[in-house]
Amino acid sequence: MEECQLPLIDLSGLNSHDQKETNACAAAICRASSEWGFFQVVNHGISPELLSKMRREQELLFQTPFEIKATCGLLNNSYRWGSPTATCPKHFSWSEAFHIPLTKINEQACYGDFTSLRVVMTEFAAAMSKLAWLLARILVDNLSHQRDTVDNICHESTCFLRLNRYPVCPISAEIFGFVPHTDSDFLTILYQDQVGGLQLMKDSKWVAVKPNQDALIVNIGDLFQAWSNDIYKSVEHKVIANGKKERYSIAYFLCPSYDSLIGSCKEPSIYQKFTFREYRNQVQEDVKKNGHKIGLPRFLL
């Protein structure tokens, strides 16, 4: 498997007093979103201490017995494992996850005895949110010239964090940790450990992402692709299961409110206008019916 060096962007450029440096950094973000749909950021403003505290809390959470994770109302009853709709190995994900809306992150009732998890998750979600909005503003400003702003596209009410654990997989090497998919959001920020296993589609080939402990990974989601009229790319990615080591990751998903209408920032538009609610419902219906997501091609004009 070919290992790729994702575009690596040093976000300290955005704070430079030299406008040229700031513009060059913004341009690198937009170029990577269009050429790769994926990039890594360093000097992203989230401290290594917060990241390692979050990872520790994540490990403790997943070490909890299955019955507690699955039944005690933990994290808004958001525990999932495997793929409930899978009918064959290629639709199955060898992983477990908590999928928690930002609106619930600070709610005491979601945490039971996990009090330090609540404190750390709240701080982590706020830091990831700030970074996601910063990147989305740059990407929107690059194309919309004041017609649209991130604030009338994205909304905190629907953003969420997904805590993933990929257990050691003792069966076939053909099994996915996470099935190939694109994300149904505007933009995702991923904090992964050093185990590796994430692969993405580049020039019609799967390439493996080499973990970098100082970097967070950013990828464009379907809604940014639709809004940008295919300028930014929502790229297919997957996680390979590992027969020797478990793996952890956390993804932050930046989403619009359910009723906001996603239309293209340019004419002629490639896609029909749709609301995020319509998009989500269509994805869920397709997953139920076919075992996999169809996504944006459903909305082509």
Ligand X SMILES: O=C(O)CCC(=O)C(=O)O
Q: Residues in the site for Fe ion, rule: CB under 5 A?
A: 183
Of the candidate residues 117, 220, 251, 255, the single one contacting ligand X (CB under 6 A): 251
What's the closest the beta carbon of residue 114 comes to ligand X, in angstroms? 21
What's the closest the beta carbon of residue 149 comes to ligand X, in angstroms? 26
Report the distance separating Cα 192 and Cα 55, nearest Å: 9
DSSP run (H or E) holding 108:
none
Nearby residues of 4 by Cβ (< 8 Å), 6 or more positions away: 200, 202, 207, 208, 209, 210
Which of 72, 7, 47 minimizes the C-alpha distance to 233? 7
Q: Is 181 in the site for ligand L4NPZUNZ (CB under 6 A)?
A: yes
Q: Is 277 in the site for ligand L4NPZUNZ (CB under 6 A)?
A: no
String of b and e for 159-189 (b: at least 16 CB within 10 Å)? bbbbbbbbbebeeeeebbbbbbbbbbbbbbb
Of the candidate residues 192, 228, 234, 242, the single one contacting ligand X (CB under 6 A): 192
Q: Is 220 in the site for ligand L4NPZUNZ (CB under 6 A)?
A: no
Report the distance separating Cα 160 and Cα 100, nearest Å: 5
Q: Cβ of 10: how many Cβ atoms within 10 Å?
A: 15
Residue with Cβ nearer ligand X (7 or 196): 196
Nearby residues of 67 by Cβ (< 8 Å), 6 or more positions away: none
**Contact positions with ligand X (CB under 6 A) in 143-172:** 162, 164
Q: Is 183 in the site for ligand L4NPZUNZ (CB under 6 A)?
A: yes
Q: Which stretch binds ligand X (CB under 6 A): 15-23, 42-50, 190-198, 223-231?
A: 190-198
**Interface residue list for ligand X (CB under 6 A):** 162, 164, 178, 183, 190, 192, 198, 237, 239, 249, 251
**Interface residue list for ligand L4NPZUNZ (CB under 6 A):** 83, 162, 179, 181, 183-184, 283, 287, 292-293
